[in-house]
Structures are given as structure tokens and as C-alpha cells.
Amino acid sequence: MTSTDNILNQNETLEIRRQALAEIDHAKFGWFHVKTCLVAGAGFFTDSYDIFAINLCSLIMGYVYYADAQGSAANTTPTKIDMWVKGSTQLGCIIGQFLFGYLSDRLGRKRMYGVELIIIIVCTIGGSFAGNTARGLSVYWVLFIWRLVLGIGIGGDYPVSAVITSEFATTKNRGAMVAAVFAMQGFGIVAAAIVAIIVLACFRSAIDSDQLMLDYVWRIIMGLGVVPGIVALYFRLTIPETPRYTLDVEKNTHRAAQDVQNTLGKLKQEDSSSRVLLQSNLQPEVAVSKPTWTEFYHHFKHWRHFKVLMGTAVTWFALDVAFYGINLNSSIILDAIGFAGNGSPYQKLLKNAGGNIILNLLGTLPGYWVTVFTIDRLGRRTIQFIGFTVLLILFCILGFAYHKILDKSVAGFVVLFTLAQFFQNFGPNATTFIIPAEAFPTRFRSTCHGISAACGKIGAVVSQLGFFQLKDRGGKNEFIPELIQIFALFMLVGLIFTWFVPETKGKSLEELNDEADR
């Protein structure tokens, strides 16, 4: 083959690539896009259900395994045990986000998609059957092990789902699609509380006669988290590879063109763009060049690239310190402000679950979906600036005026707390997930999303350790106002580092990463 032939083949390959990407970027929003959001979203529903159900399950377990404890320790899971059971999932997430993020770039999105969900399903079932061993491990340590591995699966879901959705999305609707996947977290959090109320109601008479019957309750609540995951598993295992990965990493123009044709279901032989795509089977095979850490280093050693990764990682870290500090401990905060009240175990647990539903229906869910409907108009960076700014103000008010507000009105405190929930989700909790799925080259996109997400979970672990170590300084829950003040400081950090994050609204993934003509 002559050099002229090579040039012609290269030009033709570039044209096919442009046509294939144009078909994805400008496609009419259709059933395939809806299905992608539902399949990815079902996983996130399961993820958040599993992560936040432990908030209520740990509370219930105290009534079972510490029913005979004396004084204030009665019916309460000890602080350190509670900390490690809740924190184990976050530790696993850090591993899963790094591991699956890298493997998704190295082996392909399709090959890894579904593996993380299998881990989640197996470990959720295993955790719900956790028990004391004859010698050695208590039920809490067995649960810790199951939830540590569960976290690896949940962590893996972050980069793979985000990147697959982003790479299949149209430019016009990409922000809304990725936000809609992430917004399923809100439904998962609410579902965990609703399921808790239903299961508690079913066992009410049994609990009133014997509170140890609560042992069934937490296991059922936890185990039901597998249902949406099982439904989504088949669709994840059969989803095609993203054309962007096939084009830019595997260098298989023919298969990418066919995947575009099959997934969008709209190309016709007589269309000019279709004719170009269908000619791709004439292209010679090109050697696959998988991403390497050396290549990663040479790309990010330049400040203009590194500052973006630094921005996405630090803002996610700062956000998760507050987000998980509050959301994983909302039951403790509700109890501290007197919302849980007194009464029988059934009454206290029911009121606590109800309080969680109120907080999430009024704050969390609306925040997620306002983001979905506005992100492609307002922009990611704008929403992140708004969220961090409002959260900084709200946490300062809640932290520094904690006792004054509670002395005047518990309802007033709940309103401010709910507003904070709203602006976490109409704000950085959504945008820190979306931006890393857009702002990096195809070859490193999943790895960078995994790094950013793992930094967020490191923030969650720091928050959990700090929350439990500090919350009882000076007495039970006495240090919570100071913790909220610390959360305000991290919102300031997030606000500052948002300046390093690019605006990705209205641009193709290739325009964002200078890949349009490669």
C-alpha cells in the first residue's frame, strides 16, 4: 500500500469517525437513551438504598444486640461499632472506584458493566444473613466484611455508569441524562425509609411483645435492596460497548459504526451519512493501543489538564465530607434535635424513619430533579457555584445559631436543614458526579471519574471518622453544632476549587478534550 493510499485511508477513517460521533451527538432523544438512563439508574437506586439503609438498620440493630445493656448504652449500637459498619461501605467504594475506573478504560466499558452489580447483589444478600460466629466474629464484624466488599461493587458503579451514559448521550441532553441516572439515588434513599416503615408496621404486634423480633426487620430492609439490581442485571450485561471507546481505544471503526446504527436504530442505507458509515467495513484493522499509566502521566503533567482533575477531585472530596456526615447520620441529628422523641422501640423507629422521609421528600428529591431539568440551560459550573455558596451560608447559620434556633423552633431548624439537603443536590452533589464524566479524554475518562469519585469517598470516610469521634465531646451529641461549622469550612474549600472546573454545557466530549480531529 502506497503512502497516498495510507493518507486516503486515514482521511476516510477520520471522516467515518466524525460521522459516527455526529450521529450520537445530534441524535433525536429516543428509547435507547431512556433505556440507558433506566438501566444505569436502577443500579444507582440500589447503591443508595444499600448505602443509606444502614442508617436505619444500625439503629434497629441496637435494640436487638444491645437490649440488655445498662443505662444510656441500652438499645444503642456502640459508637465505634456504628462508625465502622457505616464506614465499611465507603472504604470499599474507594477501592471499587479506583479499580473499576481503571479497568473500564483498560478493558472496556461493556466488559466491566454488570460485574459491579453482581458484587452488589451477592453482598447485599450475604449481609442480610450476617450472624454471630460460634467463636470470634460478632454479627457486626461479619456485616462489616460483607459491606466492605459491597462497597467495591457500589464504587465500581460510579465511573462505569457515569461514563457509559455520558458517551451514549446527545450533546443537547447529556447533562440531564447523567443527572437523571444520579438522581435515582434520591429515590433509593426515600425507598429505604419507606420500606423500613412498611416492614415495621408488618411486625408491629410482634415488636410490641418482643423487641428482639426487630432482628427480622433490619434483615428484610437490607435484603430487599437487591430487587432493582436483579431487574437491571440482564440489561447491563447485554448493553453494547460505547462507540467512543470502540473508536478511540479499540480503533475498530467498522464495529463502532455498526453499534451506532444498531443502538440508535435510525440510520438508513440511502442516507449520505449512513453510506459513509457502512463503508467502514473496508477499513484495515488497526492495532489496539490500550491506555497506560505512562500515557496518563504525560497527559496530566501539563497544568491545563492536571488542574481539571485536581478541581473535580477536591470539590468532590469537600462536598462528601458534609454530604455523608449529614446523610449517614441523619437519624442521630433527628434524635439530637428532639425529632425522634420517646416511646416504645416501634414508635421511636417509626418516627425516625418518617423524619428521614420528610427530609428527603422536601429537600433531597426536589434538589436532584431541579438539577435534571435545569443543568443543560444553567450549566454545571453555575449550579456548583450556587450550591456551594448557599450551603456555606446555611451551614454557618445552622452551626453558629444551632441552640438559638432549636430553642425557638424545631420546625425552623428542620426547614433550614431541608434547604441544605436541597442545595446539596441542586448543587455539588450532582455536578461533581457529572463533570468528570465529560471533562476528560475517552482514553482516561473512566479512570479520572474513578479518581475523582474515590477522593469524594475519602472525604466520606474522613467525615464518618470525625463525626463519630467528635460528636459526643462535652456530652451526647453536644459537638454537633461545631461539626456543622466544620462542614461550612469544607463548602468554602469546594467553592474555591470550583474555579478549576470547566463548563461543559453545550459542547461535545471531543470539543471539550481536543479530540475532534484525532
pLDDT at 324 over 90: no
Query: Residue 336's pLDDT is what?
Result: 61
Task: Report the candidate in 268, 418, 311 with the shortest Cα–Cα distance to residue 356.
Answer: 418
Task: Report the candidate in 417, 426, 419 with the shortest Cα–Cα distance to residue 386.
Answer: 426
Average pLDDT over residues 140-168: 94
| 89-93, 408-412, 434-438: the lowest-pLDDT one | 408-412
Q: Is the dihedral of CA 447, 453, 459, 461 positive or negative?
A: negative
- Considering the segment(s) 18-259+294-499 as one domain, its CATH architecture is Up-down Bundle (1.20)
At residue 444 the predicted structure's pLDDT band, cuts being 50, 70 and 90, is: very high
pLDDT at 276 over 50: no
Q: In whole angstroms, what is the distance from residue 479 CA to residue 483 CA?
A: 6
Per-residue pLDDT of 370-384, as tens digits, reads 999 999 999 999 999
Query: Residue 268's pLDDT is what?
Result: 42
Domain ranges for the chain? 18-259+294-499
Q: In whole angstroms, what is the distance from residue 290 CA to residue 268 CA?
A: 32
237 with 113: CB under 8 angstroms? yes
Average pLDDT over residues 39-46: 90
Per-residue pLDDT of 162-189, as tens digits, reads 999 999 999 999 999 999 999 998 899 8
Q: Among residues of the chain, what percentage have pLDDT more than 90?
A: 46
Q: In whole angstroms, what is the distance from residue 116 CA to residue 159 CA?
A: 11
Query: Residue 496's pLDDT is what?
Result: 97
All three cell numbers of 239, joined, read 448493553
394 with 420: CB under 8 angstroms? yes
Per-residue pLDDT of 373-429, as tens digits, reads 999 999 999 999 999 999 999 999 999 998 898 888 878 888 888 899 899 999 999
At residue 354 the predicted structure's pLDDT band, cuts being 50, 70 and 90, is: confident
| 274-278, 435-439, 445-449: the lowest-pLDDT one | 274-278
pLDDT at 122 over 70: yes
Q: Which residue did the predictor score with more confidence, 272 or 337?
A: 337
Query: Residue 423's pLDDT is what?
Result: 95
